[in-house]
Amino acid sequence: MGVTELGKLIPDSIRKAVDFMQLSNRIIAMDAYNALYQFLASIRQPDGTPLMDTKGRITSHLSGLLYRTINFLENRIWPVYVFDGKPPEEKTLEIVRRRRVREEAMDKWVKLLEEGKREEARKYAQRALFLTDDMVEDAKKLLVLMGIPVVQAMADGEAQAAVIAKEGKAWAAGSQDYDSLLFGAPRLVRNLAITGRRKLPNKDEYVEIRPEIIELNEILRALKLKDRIQLIDLAVLLGTDLNPDGVPGIGPQRALKLIQEFGSLEKLLQGPLKNAQFPMDPLKIRDYFLNPPYNPNYAIEFRQSDERGIIEFLVHEHDFNEERVRNAIERLRKAMGKRRESTLDSFFG
DNA sequence: CGTAGTGA
DNA sequence: TCACTACGG
């Protein structure tokens, strides 16, 4: 998903590991779909079944969103959740591909479950589930009830998050993917889960996961690239959502060398990559990252949470445990109170 | 993923 | 205050 290969070129030296506290008093434009997919993939039973209410509607993403958001607020981190709009036509290929992967995983999951191989089944369950419109609407509804700003992107959420960060309305974009940097976010925060030990899949090992900050300027400097256009060109060689396969046979190191040597996609297309195949004009792909559609009319406003609304929604509609929810609401209220003490007063209505 | 319980 | 684990819906 996204420009995963690009991550291999970002050296550890410019990945600044931080604690939650070091992100205090910052607004972060979160890639909502990215977060929801994470919850969906990880909040489930040993056999891969997600959390569901009595009507069979998936609630894993709501549970994750509720508690993680409260954790942010308790640390005075102010999340703005940016939701994808209509995917651009150029992404159709990737969307079709992902659907196929999902359907294959779904078959495999069901099959392994029937064979009683629960642990193995879980792996495929993670790939099999996808966000439905209802699930997205539920997530937005919860955030609105909590008083957290929701921004609707025109198309790509990462593009919108980048705009928000570029305009200084947020301090950084928050996502596991690197796309927002291509879209021009000056700063990206990854691993925005609660700090702590996480178990490695299939192993009895644990690793300490901490949030990490990556700055666009530092990537350019570390990779000896002239500007963001060269970084985008590099990404196009490696593969983006608009050309998932990149240029076959060219890995991260060679792609970097080529961009450093030839300077641009145009030059490469006239020279060594004359015969390379792309699903669409590679210069159009570059232009998509340079000038993505975005929503210029967004507002970032933290409001009072609707406590009764949250109870109604989570407890009565989606069968959450009332005591747990009341506990969460109590934490939410205390954390929201920190608004006044924070340095962000101008952002709050 | 994150909470809440247990037992040292 | 840990480390570990069961469970959430």
Q: What is the pLDDT of residues A68-110, one digit of tens each?
A: 999 999 999 999 999 999 998 889 989 999 999 999 999 999 9
Residues A275 and A248 in one domain: yes
Q: pLDDT tens across A223-245, in order?
A: 999 999 999 999 999 999 999 99
Residue A172's DSSP bridge partners are A28
Q: Count other C-beta atoms under 10 Å from residue A307's C-beta.
A: 17
Residues A99 and A239 in one domain: no
Q: Is A31 marked as a binding-site residue?
A: yes
Residue-level pLDDT at A208: 80
3-class SS of residue A201: coil
Q: pLDDT tens across A249-287, in order?
A: 999 999 999 999 999 999 999 999 999 999 999 999 999
Residues A208 and A242 in one domain: no
Q: Is residue A330 part of a domain?
A: no
Q: Is residue A319 part of a domain?
A: no
Pick from A271, A290, A309: which residue ends a domain? A290
CA distance A27 to A79: 6
Pick from A222, A238, A256: which residue ends a domain? A222
Residues A212 and A238 in one domain: no
Residue-level pLDDT at A202: 52
**Contact, A52 CB vs strand C, < 7 Å:** yes
Residues A98 and A234 in one domain: no
Domain around A6: 1-222
In whole angstroms, B6 C1' to A177 CA is 37
Q: Is residue A213 part of a domain?
A: yes
Residues A265 and A205 in one domain: no
CA distance A26 to A139: 22
Pick from A267, A290, A313: which residue ends a domain? A290
Residues A228 and A249 in one domain: yes
Report the DSSP pairing between strands A172-174 and A26-31. Answer: parallel
Residues A129 and A271 in one domain: no
Q: Is residue A313 part of a domain?
A: no
Task: Give the strand order in the sheet containing A26-31.
Answer: A16-17, A212-215, A187-190, A172-174, A26-31, A77-83, A150-152
Task: Report how many domains make up chain A.
Answer: 2
Residue-level pLDDT at A348: 43
Beta strands (DSSP E) in A290-337 are: none
Residues near chain B strand, CB within 7 A:
A 38-39, 42-43, 63-64, 67-68, 70-71, 193-194, 198, 209, 324, 327
Residues A6 and A55 in one domain: yes
Residues A134 and A266 in one domain: no
Residues A235 and A202 in one domain: no
The answer to whether residue A153 scores a pLDDT higher than 90 is yes
Q: Count other C-beta atoms under 10 Å from residue A240's C-beta.
A: 26
CATH number of the domain within which A234 lies: 1.10.150.20
CA distance A104 to A23: 40
Residues A191 and A275 in one domain: no
